[in-house]
Structure formats: C-alpha cells, structure tokens
Structure 1
C-alpha cells in the first residue's frame, strides 16, 4: 500500500461526498472553535481534508496522549529487533530502581504490564488535566526513583487503570534498553522511515523522554503525519512495502488486554490493547483535547481529527461517528 498521498474523490473510493461536505456546517453549529484539522483517507488515498484556524497540511498540532500509542510502536520495534527479548521481561532488568525490593510487587511488573496500563502503581489523575501527583514528581530530580517510591495499589497485571506512570516507565525502559532515549529510537526506526517530522521530545532530569507535560509542543505532528500511523497499522505494520513493525506485534496491539475493563474505566463498547484504544469495528489513538486517529480496517478507512487542547477541552468523537463514518456507502 503506497503512501505517496494520492488524492481521490470520495465517490471513486465509495464515500458519499454530500455527507462529508456537512463537516463545516456541523463544526460551526456545534461551536467547535478549537478544531484545527479533519482528514479522511479511503483505500490509502486522501478523499477529504479540511483545516481551520489558519492551519494547513503542514501545520503541526499538539498530539498529547497519542504519544502513548507511538511509544507502543517503538516498543514493538525494540522487540522485533531483539533490543528487548520479551514483553514479559521484568522492568527491573532495565530500571534498577525497580530491582531494589522497595516493594515486593516491583519484581512482578513486566513490560507487558506497562503496555496494558496494569502495573498496579497507585495513581490519582486529578481533574481537568491538572494532576498533583505529576506536579509532585516534577519537583524531584530523579523521576524514576520517585515513581518507584509510590505505593502499589494492586498486584501487577490484575487491573487496568489509565495513568501516566506506566508510559513514563515504558519510555525509560526503551531508552535504557537501546542506550539512547525513546525519542532517538523512535526518530530513527519509526519517524524516518515514515518521513514524519517532529521536534525532539523533552527529557526528564533523569534522562527519559516524555511528552505529556510542559515542553511537549516540540512533539507536535501534522494531520498527515498521524494518518501515516493509522495507515501503518492498516497495512499490518508496513509502510510503502517495508515492514516497520511486525505484523505479530500489530495484531497483539489491537487485541484487547485481559485486564482492560477490570475497574470499569472503559465504556461497554471500548477496550484497550497495547496503548491503543479498541472499538467494536476498529481501533485508534486518543489525545487530550480532541486528538484522534481512527482506523476501520474492514472499510480501509482512516480519519484524523486535531484540535487545540485547553484545560477544559472536550473530545470530538461525534464528528467521526455522526458524519465521517456515515459517508461510507
């Protein structure tokens, strides 16, 4: 499947343009003033592309927690290349802070637990994206040691809880395993092959990459960059015929974790894989404030939505459900 950004008409690709063309009016009626980009691909071709607030195809938007899904891909590439041997390796192999017996459960935490948000480390996310636990951590110089001192809430692997600790630890594991940073690895083995442009991710004082807090604007991506990630998974880990991440890992990523609904954090229709959200007929990435990558493999359909995140931001999944998907004939 070639990703040279061929452009086609909706009708040629089996979409109803009269429905797609309702997007502008819908956004106006809903007063979605923070929406910046809406992009639709069908059969690997761009069939609909809209920009707002002076954005264009080259504009880069804050990706927020879509970074988590990108980091999952990086973990898969590490596994494919033998940089990590197994997803069931204990993280203490790479993070000595979790090999010091601070807590008897630490030795049980594996890379798989980080990918499925089931480490068992206590987490309270606060409200409106203001998290006192994150603020407390950022006042220290060694974030990994700080996280390792937090109480364990559950046995690892028992319960799903969406939290920042697990993805930060995953970034640190990738960095220590490859001898660089997760950003360096992702840039070399994911971004370069996909021709994705991104500034350097910020680093913690102890040296691991992150993008979920201040300074993350350097990690901004364009709508077309995000579309490449969706198309990569739609084509089972291939980009322009080159296997970037193994088909096996992609399949595991979009398979529900056995712990993902354990504490009622997800709706009846959603599930969670390896840092990717799973829907009844597809999967995707989500970022705070309205960042979306949606993939519906049976329809060869990918949609992207970007918006400017604010402390009181909302999601805009209704655009995809009410209009974009309804255009499929």
Structure 2
C-alpha cells in the first residue's frame, strides 16, 4: 500500500512535521506512535455503533470550472479519509492514501477542541472551580510571569495577552516550533519554561491571538487539576464510556506532558464520534461529562472576528472551537477538520496530508476544502 514502506527513524523530528515531504507526511501522520514519545488513550470494552444509513450521499459540485466529486477531491487534496454522520448514522465514508478505517491519524490542531472538552470535564468533576480561576492557581511555575492575572477563560479564548508570534507552520523560527526546544529545568514542561519568559503584549481579555502555547498550557492545567495524565483522563471521561473504537495516542513533551495543542492521533471514525458526543450534549455512558451551560459557552462566539477575517468565513472563537453561523469546528495543519452542525444533526470529519513544499499552494487547498465541506454539508442536509 502506498506510503507504508517507510522507516520511522529516517523522518525528521515531529516538531518539524510541517517540513516532511509528501510520503513522509502520509507515513508520519498514520504511524506517529512509531516516531514520537506518546501516551496511549485506551479504549474500553464496548464500541459506540455508527450504523450505515441505507441511503448514502454523493456530493458533486464545481471547483474552478471543473466538475468535482468526493473521489476527485480526495485525490486532488490528498485526503486520507472523510466521514459524514447524520443523526448518528454514516451517510458517507471513504479512505485514500493507503489508509484503512483502523488506522489512526495525527489530528494536529484539531486536538485543541479535545483539550477544551477536558477542561469542561474537570469543571463538571469539581477539579476546576470556575472558568474565572487564575491560570497560576493550577500552574504554579507561571507565577510572576505574564500569565499572572490571566484567567482560564482568557487562556481558552486565545486572549491571554502574552506575547506569541503569529503562527507560521512553514517558518522554523516561529514560536510554535521554539516551544518544544528542551529547556534544562527538571520536571518543567518546555512550554512553561519558554512562555514564562515571554512579556505581556496586551491586557488579558482584550485581543485574540491564536496560540498553540495557550492550549498546551490548558492541557497542563487540566492534568495538574485532576492529578492525572491528560491521556488517562481522556480515556476515563470519553474514550471508554462513549465507546471509541480504537486506542488513540497523544504525543508528549520532554517533561511527559501531552501536546494538548496538536499531538492527538485517532481514527477517523473516533473523530466523528467525538463530534457526535459534543452534539449529543456532552454525555457518555449515560453520564453528563460536560456541564450543559459550559458546553453552550464553549461552542458560542466568545471572541468576534472582524468581518471576512477568517479564511473559512467563521464569525468568532469559543473555547478552542471556531464558531460559524450554523455550527462549530476546528481545523489542523495539512487539512484536518472536525465540523459539527447541531441544527442539522450533521458531523463531518476529515483527515488529510496536504502537499507543503510550496507555502503558496496552501490558500488554494483551504478554498478547495471549503467548497468540499459546503458540498458535503448541503448533501447531508438534503439527505432523507
């Protein structure tokens, strides 16, 4: 199968995954557990069924004057898998690039929304008292830094105000890569070491600035609050009770903390199940995992974007979720997506390995995926 005959030892470091060539990217995203230090998110004994609907959808649309369908798109955009659920039933599921439904795939920044969910679970469990608690109450190493006075709410809406460069996945000098360089501080996450040296750029709560660092800190915060590994807590709160089908893996930093902003790898079906869990009100195994009022806040625009400032036409940002007029989503580098449309009871999950040698190609891929998602959503809404 294409992309499977690679040697994990020959790949560049995971922190440089944006610079993998196309074959390395396909192998690396699927076989991340062979490449990076990680913790396993263990599944349980039962599996949450995803029944296949009798009637399937077959989206068709026009892109740049050319007729497109799902298969043409998946080849053009190097998509390894796409699944669409409506009312919890599968109405489309396809795989590509030598991948099967059993393979996990690195979700990149889609991981941020799973971290968001774990913050809500910790609030429901009483381990975190309030979104207005201070970050430094849970990460003591940040006391005296620019995070002094920053609330969990501000951390999760990317309004911490701590200086952090605009993320450029193709620039090795960007903060998003510098975060992971080892800092010689025993048992301290490299992210904590790096970010506690950063100055304050804006008053907390006043300016949105997309920051993987803030998400990683949110993961450390949850782990400290619940006294467990983030991967262990995710298994306990979601993977086992909801019935995920495959073990997931979560890559870790030099201190053993999970990369909460981008290191989670799971199967495509389990990514869709996560979206379904959110749409069902945050319940797993008959237990309310997420506070309903918190869930409503998390998936509402806490930050409003300037008109047409977002490349996917989103209106704002919630708690590590992008917000649109008809739902919420998150995206990850190289074409990873999870989209939830509560009013239409539709979930769409996509895994990809976009070409990345030429950064100028990326806007075209984004717009192509936007058209793809719109066609999938329209077909799902029309499905009876």
TM range, smaller chain: 0.7 to 0.9
Match of 1:201 among 230, 233, 250: 250
More moved, 289-298 vs 189-198: 189-198
When residues 10 and 328 of structure 1 are mapped into structure 2, their CA distance, relative to the original with a 3 A threshold, is: farther
Q: Deviation per CA, 1:205-262: give whole Å up to 9, x if none.
A: 234211557xx4xx321111011111111111124543232222211111111x3427
When residues 21 and 51 of structure 1 are mapped into structure 2, their CA distance, relative to the original with a 3 A threshold, is: farther
When residues 71 and 126 of structure 1 are mapped into structure 2, their CA distance, relative to the original with a 3 A threshold, is: closer
Equivalent-residue separation in structure 2 for 1:4 and 1:33 (angstroms): 29
Task: Please say if residues 41 and 302 of structure 1, whose CA atoms lie closer than 8 Å, have aligned partners that are also in contact.
Answer: yes
Task: Please say if residues 124 and 131 of structure 1, whose CA atoms lie closer than 8 Å, have aligned partners that are also in contact.
Answer: no
Match of 2:206 among 153, 158, 162: 158
Q: Deviation per CA, 1:110-132: give whole Å up to 9, x if none.
A: 11111111111111145344342
Number of the residue aligned with 1:115: 156
Q: Deviation per CA, 1:76-96: give whole Å up to 9, x if none.
A: 000000011111111111112
For the pair 1:170 / 2:213, whether they are aligned, the reply is: no
More moved, 233-242 vs 85-94: 233-242
Number of the residue aligned with 1:63: 107
Task: Please say if residues 161 and 206 of structure 2, whose CA atoms lie closer than 8 Å, have aligned partners that are also in contact.
Answer: yes
More moved, 131-140 vs 38-47: 131-140
Normalization by structure 1: what TM-score? Answer: 0.86
Q: Deviation per CA, 1:295-326: give whole Å up to 9, x if none.
A: 11111111111112554554323211134424
Task: Please say if residues 92 and 107 of structure 1, whose CA atoms lie closer than 8 Å, have aligned partners that are also in contact.
Answer: yes
For the pair 1:32 / 2:76, whether they are aligned, the reply is: yes
Match of 2:342 among 297, 305, 309: 297
Equivalent-residue separation in structure 2 for 1:254 and 1:87 (angstroms): 14
Cα-Cα RMSD: 2.7
Match of 1:225 among 270, 290, 302: 270
Unaligned runs of 5+ residues in structure 1 are 12-16
Number of the residue aligned with 1:78: 122
Task: Please say if residues 58 and 70 of structure 2, whose CA atoms lie closer than 8 Å, have aligned partners that are also in contact.
Answer: no
Tell me how many residue pairs correspond in the alignment: 315
Match of 1:136 among 178, 191, 195: 178
Equivalent-residue separation in structure 2 for 1:183 and 1:45 (angstroms): 27
Task: Please say if residues 59 and 69 of structure 2, whose CA atoms lie closer than 8 Å, have aligned partners that are also in contact.
Answer: no
More moved, 133-142 vs 297-306: 133-142
When residues 159 and 263 of structure 1 are mapped into structure 2, their CA distance, relative to the original with a 3 A threshold, is: farther
Equivalent-residue separation in structure 2 for 1:112 and 1:211 (angstroms): 16
Task: Please say if residues 83 and 178 of structure 1, whose CA atoms lie closer than 8 Å, have aligned partners that are also in contact.
Answer: yes
Unaligned runs of 5+ residues in structure 2 are 1-46
Map residues 1-329 of structure 1 onto 2, 5 A cutoff. 3-10=48-55, 17=57, 19=59, 25-28=69-72, 31-99=75-143, 101-103=144-146, 106-132=147-173, 133-137=175-179, 138-141=181-184, 142=188, 143=190, 144-196=192-244, 197-210=246-259, 216=263, 219-239=264-284, 241-257=286-302, 259-261=303-305, 266=310, 269-309=314-354, 311=356, 312=359, 314-315=365-366, 316-329=369-382
When residues 272 and 192 of structure 1 are mapped into structure 2, their CA distance, relative to the original with a 3 A threshold, is: same
The structure carrying a bigger strand percent of its residues is 2
Normalization by structure 2: what TM-score? Answer: 0.74
Superposition deviation, residue 168 in structure 1: 1.1
Equivalent-residue separation in structure 2 for 1:301 and 1:318 (angstroms): 17
Task: Please say if residues 3 and 44 of structure 1, whose CA atoms lie closer than 8 Å, have aligned partners that are also in contact.
Answer: no
Superposition deviation, residue 187 in structure 1: 2.0
